[in-house]
Structure 1
Amino acid sequence: MTAPASPAQDRSHPLYLEDFAVGDRIRAGRFTIAPALAHDFAALYDPQPMHLDETAARASLFGELVGSGWQTLAVTMRLMVDARLLGTTPIIGAEFRELRFHRPMRPGDTLTAEAEVLAARGSRSKPELGFLDLRVRTFNQDGAELLTQTWTLVVPSRSAASTPPS
Structure 2
Amino acid sequence: MRYYEDIEIGETQEYGEYHVTKDEIIEFADQYDPQPFHTDAEAADDSAFGELVASGWHTAAMCMRLLVDGPIAGRAVMGARGVDELRWKRPVTPGDTLSIRTEVIDKRVSESDPRRGYVDSRLEGYNQDDDLVVSWVSLGMIERRQPGGE
Normalised by the length of structure 2, the TM-score is 0.93
Unmatched 5+ residue regions in structure 2?
A: none
2:53 to 66, 72, 95: 66
Give the Cα–Cα distance (whole angstroms) in 2 for the partners of residues 91 and 103 of structure 1.
Answer: 31
- RMSD in angstroms over aligned alpha carbons? 1.6
Give the Cα–Cα distance (whole angstroms) in 2 for the partners of residues 115 and 92 of structure 1.
Answer: 17
Give the Cα–Cα distance (whole angstroms) in 2 for the partners of residues 161 and 111 of structure 1.
Answer: 39
Give the Cα–Cα distance (whole angstroms) in 1 for the partners of residues 41 and 74 of structure 2.
Answer: 41
Give the Cα–Cα distance (whole angstroms) in 2 for the partners of residues 51 and 44 of structure 1.
Answer: 11
Deviation digits for residues 28-84 of structure 1, max 9, x if unmatched? 211101111111111111111001112211211111111111111111110011115
Task: Give the equivalent residue in structure 2 for 1:121.
Answer: 108
Task: Say if 1:81 and 1:91, in contact at 8 Å, map to a contact too.
Answer: no
The reply to whether residue 50 of structure 1 matches residue 37 of structure 2 is yes
How far residue 90 of structure 1 moved from its aligned partner, in angstroms, is: 3.5
Task: Say if 2:114 and 2:148, in contact at 8 Å, map to a contact too.
Answer: no
Task: Give the equivalent residue in structure 1 for 2:69.
Answer: 82
1:6-17 alignment to 2 at 5 Å? 14-17=1-4
How many aligned residue pairs are there? 149
The reply to whether residue 143 of structure 1 matches residue 130 of structure 2 is yes
Unmatched 5+ residue regions in structure 1?
A: 1-13
Task: Give the equivalent residue in structure 2 for 1:9.
Answer: none
Give the Cα–Cα distance (whole angstroms) in 2 for the partners of residues 41 and 79 of structure 1.
Answer: 17
Give the Cα–Cα distance (whole angstroms) in 2 for the partners of residues 102 and 116 of structure 1.
Answer: 18
Task: Say if 2:18 and 2:97, in contact at 8 Å, map to a contact too.
Answer: yes
2:18 to 31, 37, 40: 31
Assess, with a 3 A threshold, how the Cα gap between structure 1 residues 87 and 59 changes in structure 2: closer, same or farther. Answer: same
Whichever residue aligns with residue 113 of structure 1, its letter is I
Task: Give the equivalent residue in structure 2 for 1:19.
Answer: 6
SS in 2 for 1:159: coil
SS in 2 for 1:138: strand
Give the Cα–Cα distance (whole angstroms) in 2 for the partners of residues 141 and 91 of structure 1.
Answer: 31
**Identity of aligned pairs, percent?**
38
Give the Cα–Cα distance (whole angstroms) in 2 for the partners of residues 150 and 84 of structure 1.
Answer: 14
Whichever residue aligns with residue 127 of structure 2, its letter is N
- Over 3 Å off, 4+ runs: none
SS in 2 for 1:51: helix
